Structure 1
Amino acid sequence: MIPASSSSSLSVKSQSSRPSSSLQSRPPSRNTAPRPSSSIGAARPASSASTRPHSRFSLRPNSRQARSRLIPQCQTLVTQMTGMKEEDDPEDESFREAVDYVVRSLETSTINKAAASVDLSVIERRISGLALKARINSQEIFGEALQTAYDKLKKNVEERENDLDQDIKASRLPDHLQFLLELSRPPTEVTLMKAQTFLDNIANPPPTEHTLTWADILAEEPFEGEHWEGVYDQKDGGDWTSTPSLSPLSSDDRPLDDDDSSVEYSVPSSDSTTSEPPERMDDSRPAKPYVPHSCENRKQFEELRARQYWRDDWHSDASPNPTFDVNDPSTLGPTISRALAEATGMKDAQAMLRPEHYIDEVDMTREILMSLQGNNTTILRWNGIAFEMLPNAPRLVHLSLASQQSIIMSLARTASIVQNLRRFTATVFSASFANKQTNNRKVTTTRTCEAFADAIDEATRELNAWCAAREEAICRAYAGIDTEPLVVTLLETEGAIRDRYGTVFEVLPEIIQTIFQIRPGEDLSRFDLSATLLRQPAALTAQLLDTLFLNVQQHMERRDNITSDALTRVFLRTAGPIWSMVGKWLKDGMGLGLGVGSGRKPDMADELDEEFFIENNGLGSGIMGVGLLDPEFWQEGYALRERTTPSGEDGTEGQASGQSRSRRVIPLFLEHVADMVLSAGKAVGLMRALGAPLSSNVFDGRKTFADLVSSVALDGGEKSKALGLFSVSIDTLSRLIYDTLLPHCQNTGSQLVKVLVEDCFLWKHLQAIEDLFLMRKGEVIPHFMDVLFMKMDSNQPWGDFYVLNTAFSDVVEANLNAGGKEWINASLVRLSYRGSREKDRTIRRTVKAIDGLALEYAVPFPLTYIFQPKIIEGYSDIFVFLLQIHRAKNALERILVRDERGKDKQLREELKVLYAMRSRLSWFIITLLNFLTTYVIHAEVMRFHTVFRQAESLDDMICFHDEHLEKIRGRCLLKPNTTALHRAILSILDMCLHFGDGFVDFAGSSATLDLSRQSINVKRHRSRRQERQNRNVVSFSQNRDHDWRSSDEDEEEEEEDIMDSEDGGRIKEPPEPSFSLGSSVMTQDEGFPARVGKMSSELDGLIRFIRRGVESLAGGTSEAAPAFGVLAFSLEDWDM
Structure 2
Amino acid sequence: MVHNAAIGALVRDLIKATAKTSSEAQLEQYKRAALRTLAESQSSRINQFHVYARLEGLVEKARILNNDPLADALHLRLTELSSRSDKWTPEVLSLLLQLSDRPVHNNKVEDLILLEPGPSFAPLTWSDIVADDPLDNQDSIWDNVDFAGDGSDEEEVLRTDISDSSAQTPDSSLLDDKRVEAQLGDLLRPKDDPALHLIVDAQFWRPKARVDSMEDPEAGKDHPPELLLTESQIIREVIFMLLGLPTTVFDLDANERLVVSAGLGIRHVSPASVIHLLGNFAKIGDQLRIVRRWIHRETLLTLEQTFQAAIETRLGDLDLSLNEIHAQFLKPRTETVPSLLQVYSEVYRRSQLMQQTADILMSLKPVRPFGVLECLYEKTCANQSIGNTDGYEYMAKLFFECFQAYIRPVKSWMETGQLRKNDQIMFIKENQDEVPLTSLWNDQYHLVREGNDDLYAPNFLHVAAMKIFNTGKSVHFLRHLGYEGRRPGMQAVADPIMTFENVCNPADLGTLSPFPELFNEAFDTFIASSYHSSASMLRAQLEAKCGLRRVLDALEYIYFFRNGALSTDIALKIFQRIDHGSARWNDNFALTEVFRKTFSAISCIDVDSLDVRSTRTIGRGKPHQARRSMGALEDLRVIYALPWPIANIVKIESLMIYEHIFVLLTQIRRAKYLLQMQKLPENRSLAMEKDLLLIYGLHHRLLWFADTVLTYVTDMVLLASTIDMRLKMMRAEDVDAMVAVHEAYISQLQSQCLFTKQHGPIRQAIMSLLDLTVLFSDIQASYTMQTTLSTSENMQTKQHIIADSDSDDDEIDHYQVGDAVANSVSDAGLSNTDRLKSMDDTFRKLHGYVTAAVQGISKAESGTCWEMLATSLAVGLACP
Alignment of 1:943-954 (within 5 A): 943-954=724-735
Number of the residue aligned with 1:761:
547
Q: Is the 8 A contact 1:932 1:972 kept in 2?
A: yes
Contact persistence 2:824–2:838 (CA under 8 A): no
Question: 2:441 is matched with which residue?
Answer: 634
1:464 to 309, 316, 319: 319
User: Quick one: percent identity of the two aligned structures?
Assistant: 18
In structure 1, what is the equivalent of residue 269 of structure 2? Answer: 399
Check 1:279–1:954 CA distance in 2 against 1; reply closer, same or farther (3 A cut).
closer
Matches within 5 A, 1:562-961: 567-568=395-396, 571-590=399-418, 607=421, 609-618=423-432, 621=433, 625=434, 627=435, 629-644=436-451, 661-692=452-483, 693-694=486-487, 695-700=489-494, 703=496, 707-717=498-508, 729-796=515-582, 797-813=584-600, 816=601, 822-835=603-616, 837=620, 842-897=625-680, 899-900=682-683, 903-961=684-742
Given that 1:791 and 1:798 are in contact with CA atoms closer than 8 Å, whether structure 2 keeps it comes out as yes
Provide closer, same or farther for how the CA distance between residues 727 and 1024 of structure 1 changes in structure 2, counting only shifts above 3 A: same
For 1:544 and 1:841, the matched residues in 2 are separated by: 76
TM superposition shift of 1:457: 4.2
Change (3 A) 1:373 1:1071: same
Per-residue deviation, residues 692-734 of structure 1 (Å, max 9, x unmatched): 3445522235x37xx43442124454976xxxxx996234333
Residue 88 of structure 2 is matched in structure 1 by: none
> In 1, distance between residues paired with 2:310 and 2:316?
10
- Cα distance in 2 for residues equivalent to 1:708 and 1:1116: 54
Q: How far apart in 1 are the matches of 2:223 and 2:296?
A: 48
| Number of aligned residues | 686
User: Per-residue displacement from partner, 1:347-374 (whole Å, max 9, x unpaired)?
Assistant: 9xx9xx7x734353xx543432232110
- Once residues 914 and 1117 of structure 1 are traced to their aligned partners in structure 2, the CA distance between those partners, rounded to angstroms, is 37
The two structures have a TM-score, normalised by structure 2, of: 0.68
CA distance in structure 2 between the partners assigned to 1:139 and 1:469 by the alignment: 25
Cα separation, 2, equivalents of 1:861 and 1:842 = 39
733-742 or 499-508: which moved more? 499-508
- CA deviations 1:540-582 (Å, max 9, x no partner) are 2366655555565556555566656555555555555442232
Distance across 2 between alignment mates of 1:294 and 1:684: 84
> Aligned-pair distance for 1:972?
1.1
Give SS of 1:949's match: helix
Q: 2:344 aligns with which of 489, 494, 501?
A: 494
Shift of 1:852: 2.3
Task: Provide the alpha-carbon RMSD of the alignment.
Answer: 4.6
Written as runs of structure 1 = structure 2, the 5 A alignment for 1:177-576 is 281-282=131-132, 356-360=228-232, 364-381=234-251, 385-391=256-262, 395-397=265-267, 399-427=269-297, 429=298, 432=300, 447-450=302-305, 453-454=308-309, 456-471=311-326, 489-502=339-352, 505=355, 508-509=358-359, 512=361, 515-516=364-365, 540-541=368-369, 545-546=373-374, 549-550=377-378, 567-568=395-396, 571-576=399-404
- Normalised by the size of structure 1, how large is the TM-score? 0.54
Match in the other structure for 1:1024: 792
**Equivalences for 1:118-137 in 2 at 5 Å?**
none
Alignment of 1:53-202 (within 5 A): none
Output the amino acid matched with 1:1116.
Answer: A
- Code of the residue aligned with 2:726 in structure 1: it is H
Distance 1:1078 1:469 in 2: 106
Q: For residue 643 of structure 1, report the CA deviation from its aligned partner.
A: 2.4
Gaps in structure 2 of 5+ consecutive residues? 1-80, 86-111, 120-124, 156-198, 206-220, 802-815
The yes-or-no answer on 1:1102 pairing with 2:846 is yes
Whether the aligned pair in 2 keeps the contact of 1:773 and 1:876 (CA below 8 Å) is: yes
SS class of match (1:399): coil
Deviation at 1:452, TM superposition (A): 5.1
Larger RCO (alpha carbons 8 Å, 6+ apart): 2
Indicate the larger mover: 787-796 or 446-455.
446-455
Quote how far apart the aligned CAs of 1:415 are.
Answer: 0.7
Aligned to 1:84: none
Q: 1:653 maps to what in 2?
A: none
Separation (CA, whole Å) in 2 of partners of 1:806 and 1:1071: 30
How far apart are residue 974 of structure 1 and its match?
Answer: 1.5
2:241, 2:247 within 8 Å by CA — same for their partners in 1?
Answer: yes
Greater share of helix: 2
C-alpha deviation, 1:584, in angstroms: 2.0
**Counterpart-to-counterpart distance in 2, 1:992 and 1:570:** 79
Q: Which residue of 2 aligns with 1:969?
A: 750
The aligned amino acid for 1:1126 is: M
Question: Offset of 1:930 from its aligned partner?
Answer: 0.9
Letter in structure 2 aligned against 1:367: E
The CA distance in 2 between the partners of 1:502 and 1:840, in whole Å, is 92
Give the Cα–Cα distance (whole angstroms) in 2 for the partners of residues 404 and 839 of structure 1: 108
Helix, strand or coil at the partner of 1:672: helix
- The separation in 2 between residues aligned to 1:995 and 1:792, in whole angstroms, is 17
Structure 1: which amino acid aligns with 2:257?
Answer: A
Q: Distance in 1 between matches of 2:354 and 2:82?
A: 44
AA aligned opposite 1:358? T
Structure 1: gaps (5+ residues): 1-137, 143-189, 199-225, 231-277, 317-343, 433-445, 517-531, 591-604, 645-660, 721-725, 1008-1019, 1034-1069
- Residue 611 of structure 2 aligns to a residue in which SS? strand
Q: Report the CA distance shift for 1:392/1:928 in structure 2 as closer, same or farther (over 3 A).
A: same
Question: C-alpha distance in 2, partners of 1:862/1:1003?
Answer: 56
2: CA distance, partners of 1:1117 / 1:866:
28
CA contact (8 A) 2:681 2:784 kept: no
* Partner Cα separation in structure 2 for residue 981 and residue 507 of structure 1: 66
- 3-state DSSP of counterpart to 2:503: helix
Distance 1:731 1:1002, change over 3 A: same
Code of the residue aligned with 1:424 in structure 2: it is W
Residue 1023 of structure 1 and its aligned partner are, at CA, apart by 7.1
Q: How many angstroms apart in 1 are the aligned matches of 2:525 and 2:851?
A: 51
Which amino acid in 1 is paired with 2:423?
Answer: D
Counterparts of 1:668 and 1:937, CA distance in 2: 42
1:1132 aligns to 2:871 (yes or no): no
For residues 356 and 349 of structure 2, the distance between their equivalents in structure 1, rounded to whole angstroms, comes to 14
Taking the aligned partners of 1:1104 and 1:293, their CA distance within structure 2 comes to 132
Paired residue secondary structure (1:639): strand
CA distance in 1, matches of 2:440, 2:795: 67
Asked if structure 1 preserves the Cα contact closer than 8 Å seen for 2:315 and 2:354, the reply is no
Kindly state the Cα deviation for residue 681 of structure 1 after the two structures are TM-superposed. Answer: 0.9
Contact 1:840 1:849 (8 Å CA) reproduced? no
Following the alignment from structure 1 to structure 2, what is the Cα–Cα distance between the partners of residues 467 and 689? 60
Deviation at 1:924, TM superposition (A): 0.7
d(CA) in 2 for partners of 1:1116, 1:987:
25
8 Å contact from structure 1 (residues 641, 664) kept in 2: yes
Partner SS, residue 760 of structure 1: coil
Give a deviation string over 1:382-415, Cα, whole Å, max 9, x none. Answer: 568133434575x544533321221112111211
**Counterparts of 1:345 and 1:588, CA distance in 2:** 72
Q: Distance in 2 between matches of 1:572 and 1:786?
A: 71
- Point out the structure with max Rg over C-alpha: 1
Q: Aligned equivalents of 2:140 and 2:514: distance in 1?
A: 65
Q: Is the 8 A contact 1:832 1:855 kept in 2?
A: yes
